[in-house]
Amino acid sequence: MLEIKKLSVSMDGKTLLSDINLHVAAGARHLISGRNGSGKSTLAGVIAGDERYKIDSGKIIFDECDITTENATSRALRGIFLGAQNVPEIPGLTWLSFLKHSAAAHAHFQTGRDLSMGEFLARLEQMRAHLEIPKEWLNRSVNVGFSGGERKRMMLLRLLMTQPRLAILDEPDSGADAATQKLIAQVMHEMKQTSFVFISHQKNFTELAEPTSETVLRDGKIV
């Protein structure tokens, strides 16, 4: 599903990742661990196409396609999802509108046809109920006034609505209570067609997620 070959990355002339080789199998729950500052979030951002980082050498192969030079939008449409630690607030844009535009873009890219409002609302109601998200949250601006745990639930809703091939979750357990952590792990197990790369420092959460493989980073290198 994902293969990274001899990847080296820098920002403003400072090397952040060196000679990274990584293989993520289809259906994996691949844990990325290491101390703070070891390069975990950098790696997550680079895979997702964060343009702040400069790829100095190496390749990123996703689903047998070289995506090294593709931008974040192209990678997202191909099926790469990033659940970042720090998500922006977007005043004036409701979750309902945001999810509709996202789902429509993915549907058109994957199938060549437009997503009907009826299809979208039916799927949204199914996933909202599954995650026990109150209906009124959908009419609120994206992440404005949401607690850490509430933001994680909305991340899960976005994840379920887009059904990505690869989901990168950067500390999904951070700021989430025990019930939300359990729900995140449950969704990871339920999504059999999605490969997961996730970052976590918490033993309790990693035990719930049951990683199928693990990569440890230290000072921008694989240990």
Give me the pLDDT at residue 112, please: 82
- 139 class by beta-carbon count within 10 Å (0-12 exposed, 13-18 middle, 19+ buried): exposed
- Domain ranges within the chain, ordered by starting residue: 2-222
pTM: 0.92
Q: Where are the beta strands (DSSP E) in 34-126?
A: 54-62, 65-66, 80-83, 90-94
Other residues' Cβ atoms within 10 Å of the Cβ of residue 89:
12
Question: Which tokens hold the place of 158?
Answer: 């976005």
Give me the pLDDT at residue 143, please: 93
Give me the pLDDT at residue 118, please: 92
Question: Which tokens hold the place of 40?
Answer: 């975990």
Give me the pLDDT at residue 106, please: 86
Between the alpha carbon of residue 89 and those of residues 136, 144, 145, the distances in Å are 17, 5, 9
CATH tag, 2-222: 3.40.50.300
State the 10-residue block means of pLDDT for the chain, 223 residues long: 96 95 96 94 96 96 95 94 89 95 87 87 95 95 92 94 94 90 96 95 94 96 94
Q: Would you say how long the chain is, in residues?
A: 223
Question: Which tokens hold the place of 162?
Answer: 């887009």
Separation of alpha carbons 201 and 31, rounded Å:
10
Whether the Cβ atoms of residue 211 and residue 188 lie closer than 8 Å to each other: no
Whether the Cβ atoms of residue 196 and residue 213 lie closer than 8 Å to each other: no
pLDDT in tens, 14-38: 999 999 999 999 999 999 999 999 9
Question: Which tokens hold the place of 112?
Answer: 């060549």
